């Protein structure tokens, strides 16, 4: 039996992280690098990729490969895979982290978020990125892992993939009920869908040695306004939102051999919010 430390090591394992230009994308990459793995940052945002790669080099010494690609474009992803294979020769881990998450507080009117006015084009775009993108990445990178007989897929869902949004968090005093901003329907649909995709993939490639699990984080503090933070923390038994780096342990566990018998599971880490 391997010792405890070696169970979590990811030495030389290549990990593709979609949404690699984002807040949690960086944290996932830093986790991979810290365990000896090779993070590959993939995102449509080229400048964000460059910024996160530079930060990663400064803070961890890791020179991460960055690939600018649109995950809703299957041909672009296939080109990204060719580039990756030419550079690193394989992929061992896929973290489907990319998502659209428009801020509710930035909405100027009800048409942005309320279901009865929610634009069809917005519905399609959100699902294309958050759910369709994960599907595309599984097709491209999951197949590579299945062909090699080993791999791990981690889908980043949300506590709102388990529970419904509490729309009271977004209420604005003085507005009538039909004018109140809400968390858009697409966020919940995408995150619930990712958990379903997780279960499907967990059983689809199990005979090829590819495991798939989901991580459902709770709210991450990222400079949200004090009113929102106060409302949300009252819904969380631990009494606070998460710091961005508090999911590193979960990523280490899910991506490593420490979770070798875990497959098709959704790991909820939300400070206890979904318990109430």
C-alpha closest to that of 251 among 31, 18, 19, 9? 31
pLDDT above 70 covers a percentage of the chain that reads 95
Does the pLDDT of residue 111 top 70, yes or no? no
User: How do residues 224-259 score in pLDDT, each as one tens digit?
Assistant: 999 999 999 999 999 999 999 999 999 999 999 999
Q: What's the Rg (C-alpha) of the chain?
A: 19
User: How do residues 68-82 score in pLDDT, each as one tens digit?
Assistant: 999 999 999 999 999
Q: Name the phi and psi angles at 100, rounded to 5.
A: -100, 135
pLDDT above 90 covers a percentage of the chain that reads 92
Q: What is the pLDDT of residue 101?
A: 75
- Give me the CATH number covering residue 262: 3.40.50.720
Average pLDDT, the chain: 94
Considering its fold, how many domains does the chain have in total?
1
Determine the structural domain holding residue 46 and report its residue range.
Answer: 4-275
Does the pLDDT of residue 2 top 70, yes or no? no
For 79-141, give the DSSP string: HHHHHHHHHHS---EEEE-------GGG--SGGGT-GGG--HHHHHHHHIIIIIHHHHHIIII
Q: Are 82 and 164 in contact (CB under 8 A)?
A: no
Does the pLDDT of residue 94 top 90, yes or no? yes
Read off the pLDDT band of 103 (50, 70, 90).
low
Q: What is the pLDDT of residue 225?
A: 93
- pTM of structure: 0.95
Dihedral in degrees, nearest 10, Cα atoms 58, 59, 61, 66 = -70
Q: What is the pLDDT of residue 3?
A: 82
Region label for 36, one of left (φ > 0), alpha (ψ between -120 and 50) or beta (otherwise): left
Q: What is the mean pLDDT of residues 182-207?
A: 97
User: How do residues 156-193 score in pLDDT, each as one tens digit?
Assistant: 999 999 999 999 999 999 999 988 999 999 999 999 99
Read off the pLDDT band of 1 (50, 70, 90).
low
Computed from CA positions of residues 54, 55, 58, 59, in that sequence, does the dihedral angle turn out positive or negative?
negative
Q: What is the mean pLDDT of residues 11-15?
A: 97
Does the pLDDT of residue 108 top 50, yes or no? no
Distance CA 227, CA 170 (A): 9
């Amino acid at each position: 039996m391997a010792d405890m430390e070696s169970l979590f090591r990811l030495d030389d394992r290549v990990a593709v992280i979609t949404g690699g230009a984002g807040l949690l994308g960086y944290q996932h990459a830093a986790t991979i690098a810290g365990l000896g793995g090779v993070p590959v940052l993939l995102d449509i945002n080229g400048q964000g990729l460059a910024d996160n790669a530079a930060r990663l080099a400064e803070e961890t010494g890791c020179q991460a490969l960055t690939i600018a690609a649109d995950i809703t474009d299957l041909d672009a992803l296939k080109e990204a895979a060719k580039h990756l294979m030419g550079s690193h020769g394989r992929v061992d881990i896929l973290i489907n982290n990319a998502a659209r998450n428009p801020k509710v507080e930035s909405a100027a009117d009800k048409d942005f978020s309320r279901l009865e006015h929610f634009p069809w084009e917005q519905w399609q775009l959100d699902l294309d990125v958050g759910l369709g993108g994960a599907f595309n990445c599984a097709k491209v990178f999951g197949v590579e892992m299945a062909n090699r007989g080993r791999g791990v897929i981690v889908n980043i869902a949300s506590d709102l993939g388990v529970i419904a949004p509490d729309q009271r968090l977004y209420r604005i005093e003085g507005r009538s009920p039909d004018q109140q901003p809400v968390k858009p329907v697409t966020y919940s649909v995408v995150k619930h869908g990712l958990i379903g995709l997780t279960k499907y993939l967990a059983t689809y490639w199990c005979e090829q040695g590819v495991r798939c699990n989901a991580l459902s984080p709770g709210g991450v503090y990222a400079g949200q306004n004090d009113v929102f933070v106060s409302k949300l923390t009252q819904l969380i038994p631990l009494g606070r939102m998460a710091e961005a780096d508090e999911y590193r342990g979960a990523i280490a566990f899910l991506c490593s051999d420490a979770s070798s018998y875990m497959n098709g599971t959704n790991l909820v880490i939300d400070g206890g919010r979904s318990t109430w």
